[in-house]
Structure 1
Amino acid sequence: MSHDHDTVLAAADALISAFAEGRTDDYFAAFAPDATFVFHTTGRRLDSTAEYRALWQQWTDEDAFRVLACDSSDRRLQLFGDTAVFTHSVTTRISTTAGEDVLHERETIVLHRTDGDAWQAVHEHLSAATV
């Protein structure tokens, strides 16, 4: 494995861990300010991390949304110079005012090398998994 491969994988794992552990400041810091987001649960593309964070806050305020756990499997990382594509399957346990639920989804995270060895997520696409 190359150094870049290990560094990108560490950045993806840090993002996933922050999400799974409810560390929202760390989670959103993993994304570039102008990152884009496409979620099957949202009717439109989100054009910035701030827009996504505002939606997350709305979920929290209106539905007491909380991530309880997130498991990543079937992982693949592809490197293209200063860009990397990380795909995986995610099983996420959430809590809302409706109770607990388990979501089965597939996710693509596109990361880009910033200064030096740092990698930052610039796009996330989430779709429902067929089980």
Structure 2
Amino acid sequence: MTTAGAASAPQSAIDAIIAAFGDHRRDDYFAGFAADATFVFPTNELRLESRAEYEAEWERWEREDGFRVLRCASTRRRLQLLGDDIAVFSHDVETALADGDGEMVSRERETIVVQRREGVWLGVHEHLSPHPAD
């Protein structure tokens, strides 16, 4: 990381994504990502090639499974600035989810890549992987 000031804008954008996800504020969460963002999840066989694909998947989870994010906690956080317009954020995330079967807690490692586009920091890639302790 370079300076605290340089890191504050991408970190704020990432914090907003995490907070919106943890509160199940779907529209705010997706607003943090570029339309051409990609997403890789251990529960999906294929990479989701756009924000619209992920939004459709999220809506399907809600409709078919009763999916709801109850909360999430972010720990072991690290932000790496790669020049002036790209940042890579990695952390451990513990998420409480609800579905038709009740509540479950998952622990994963996550990487979010953000890029400054026309002065706005947006997620361009999100990757979840199982936590090694699980």
Normalising by structure 1, we get a TM-score of 0.97
The correspondence for 2:70, drawn from 59, 68, 76, is: 68
Q: Does 1:87 align with 2:90?
A: yes
Q: Tell me the C-alpha RMSD between the 2 structures.
A: 0.7
Residue 97 of structure 1 corresponds to 100
Aligned-partner Cα distance in 1 for 2:6–2:48: 28
SS at match of 1:46: coil
Aligned-partner Cα distance in 2 for 1:129–1:55: 22
Residue 109 of structure 1 corresponds to 112
Residue 53 of structure 1 corresponds to 55
Q: CA offsets per residue over residues 65-120 of structure 1, 9 Å max, x none?
A: 0000000000000001111000000000000001100000000000001122x210
Normalising by structure 2, we get a TM-score of 0.95
Q: CA offsets per residue over residues 15-34 of structure 1, 9 Å max, x none?
A: 00000011100000100000
Residue 18 of structure 1 corresponds to 20
The correspondence for 2:41, drawn from 39, 42, 45, is: 39
Aligned-partner Cα distance in 2 for 1:2–1:65: 37
Amino acid in the other structure paired with 1:55: E
* Unpaired segments ≥5 residues, structure 1: none
The correspondence for 2:4, drawn from 2, 5, 9, is: 2
Aligned-partner Cα distance in 2 for 1:99–1:4: 42
Q: CA deviation at 1:38?
A: 0.5
Corresponding pairs, count: 130
Which segments of structure 1 move beyond 3 Å, counting only runs of 4 or more?
A: none
